[in-house]
A and B are shown apart, each in its own frame.
Chain A
Amino acid sequence: MNVISEIIVGALVLIGSLLTVVTMIGLIRLPDTYTRSHAASKSATLGVLFILVGCLLYFWIETGHISARLILAIVFVFITSPIAGHLLGRAAYYSGVPLSDKTVRDDLKTKQQKKLTHHE
């Protein structure tokens, strides 16, 4: 394993870990469920992807073995993680979790009220 590939693999894993740390800081600092979901659905995805790509490259260079399972894992995480973020936000909204005070506009509220009056 030469120096260049060592540096690339190390950098990938390090960037992935840093992004995961950013996700955690975001989860603590941001004010409400929805903004936290922003941080969790984006940074965590790319963080995990970076670590998996680093792992893939490491075993490829070190042992000459391309792990198909790691590639599949990358694809699955890439597709499912945004949907998880969407579903969490939607479930939170419809079970009445309040938005933070900083929120300035809420178009979804009018839609819900229209629906309620329509039912009555």
Chain B
Amino acid sequence: MSFQLLLNVIIAFTWMFLRGIWTLPSFIIGFFWGAVLLFVFRRFFHRRFYLYKVYAIIKLLFIFIRELFKANIAVTKDVLRPKLNIQPAIFAMPTRLESEWEITILSLLITLTPGTLVMDVSDDNSTIYIHAINTDDIDDIITDIQQTFEKAIMEVSR
């Protein structure tokens, strides 16, 4: 991704040189045509066209914000209920993610998910230990994490 982005910036600068206009709008126009050019020549790179990745990152950001709001509604409900009925538990969740930064992002997301908190990551990065505030829906939580978060993160790193 970074190589394609650098190439795109260089094309934008080339455009500015060709036009002889050194302004921000000129740079933006050059950047746009550079993106079009890279899209046309996308089969010569062995990674995907990089704007797909930018789109995946933006999607991940929106998931972050949505989960933060959901988590807060859940915590508020749990805390303000007249009778506390919580059932904390620590459970293990297998993960398919491999590199360090993917696991970090996943842990951040899990910590912001309603009712879960990352306690530890196993030494071989294959299991994440999660503290949940309510046990009755552990399976739901696991499938939810794997369906939405892991998929969104893999979308970025693919």
Contacts and interface: CB of A to CB of B under 8 A. Distances in A.
Interface of A: 19, 22, 25-26, 29-32, 34-35, 37-39, 41-43, 45-46, 49, 78-79, 82-83, 85-86, 89-90, 93, 99-100, 102-109, 111
A103 B92 contact: no
Interface residues of B, number: 33
Contacts, number: 111
Interface in B85-142: 86-92, 107-108, 111-112, 115, 117-120, 122, 127, 129, 131, 133, 135
B69 interface: yes
Q: What are the nearest 5 A-B pairs in CB distance?
A: A82-B111, A105-B89, A26-B79, A107-B92, A42-B71
Given A46-B69, A82-B112, A85-B117, A25 B79 contact: yes
A107 B132 CA distance: 12
A14 to B, nearest CB: 14
Given A39-B79, A41-B117, A105-B135, 13 more contacts: A19-B76, A22-B76, A22-B80, A29-B79, A43-B75, A46-B68, A46-B72, A85-B111, A102-B88, A103-B87, A104-B88, A105-B89, A105-B91
